Amino acid sequence: MIRRILLPCLLACAISVAAHAAETPSAFVQGLGNHVLSLLDRQKTAGEDASTCFHKLLVTDFDIPTIGRFVIGTAWRGATPEERKAYMDLFENLVVDVYNDRFQDYSSEGFEVIGEMPENAKDTRVRSRIVRPGKPPVNVEWRVRAKDGGFRIVDVSVEGVSMTLTQRSEFASILDRNGGRVQALVDRLAEDRVKRDAAKVEAHKDQPPRPETACP
């Protein structure tokens, strides 16, 4: 019975999500925001674990290979294929962990797109606002790139601070202090990943296992 009602609904929802996918950069960002809020809501109200869904969403909606290339700067050119691969894997993991962590602060809040402004032939800057009851709104700007018939995010700026630029200057600092060796950055990222994984285990140590959210 439940299945008979749920299945058409699921199909309809999937179609509406797909139809929404590639209209305008603004619609794309609004869709992403709604998606994140609904996942946060499921985590909160149903006690589910949506980290797999967040992972999928970040990998499909963010242009992680482009961001990764940009934030490592010119050191990319001197990197061996093995170093590039190791770096990209670790970078993807970092982005997923960091944004997963950041999203958690924004549960039960409103998200609205205010406007968009073309930056160049491919990129659009989409301005949005996170509305929090009783607190000043947070201004977030998304740099959205048209790619493969859809859109991908290449940068997020919160109150004028670009996450991509911040990460690039962090990586530059580590590379500078290690004579520009990519392997040093890779080692550092690997070290940090071990620490984050340990912290995740620690954080959920005393909690009962949560069911995984079925990703839309």
Partner 1 sequence: MMLRVRLYFLAMLAMLLAQGLVAPAVAAQPSGDISVKVYDPIEPVNRFIFGFNDILDRILIGPVARAYHAVLPEFMQNVVRDFTRNLKSPLIMANEALQGDGDGFGRAFGRMMMNTTVGLGGLIDVAGMHGIPYESEDFGQTLGVWGVGAGPYLVLPVLGPSNLRDTAGLVVDAVADPVSEVADATQRDEDLQWVRIFGAIDSRARSENVISDLRRNSVDYYASMRSIYFQSRNAAIKDGAGTANIPDYDEETP
Q: Give whichever of 48 and 192 is closer to partner 1, judged by the CB atom.
A: 192
Mention every residue, 6+ apart, whose C-beta is less than 8 A from residue 139: 127, 128, 129, 158, 159, 160
| Cβ atoms 46, 214 nearer than 8 A | no
Nearer to partner 1 by C-beta: 45 or 169?
A: 169
Whose CA is closest to 103, among 70, 67, 62, 147? 62
For residue 110, the minimal CB distance to partner 1 (Å) is 17
Nearer to partner 1 by Cβ, of 20 and 73: the residue is 73
Nearer to partner 1 among residue 112 and residue 212 (C-beta): 112
Asked if 97 and 54 touch (Cβ cutoff 8 Å), the reply is: no
Least Cβ distance, residue 57 to partner 1 (angstroms): 18
Angle between helices 81-103 and 182-203 (to 10 degrees): 30
Q: How far is the CB of 67 from partner 1 (least distance, A)?
A: 7
Q: Hunting for tokens 């963010």 — which residue is that?
A: 62
- List residues binding partner 1 (CB under 8 A): 65-67, 69-70, 73, 94, 97-98, 101-102, 105, 119, 122-123, 125, 136, 139, 141, 143, 145, 147, 154-155, 157, 159-162, 164-174, 188-189, 192, 199
CB of 46 to partner 1, least distance (A): 24
Strand, coil or helix: 124: strand
In the complex with partner 1, which residue's Cβ is closer, 120 or 207? 120
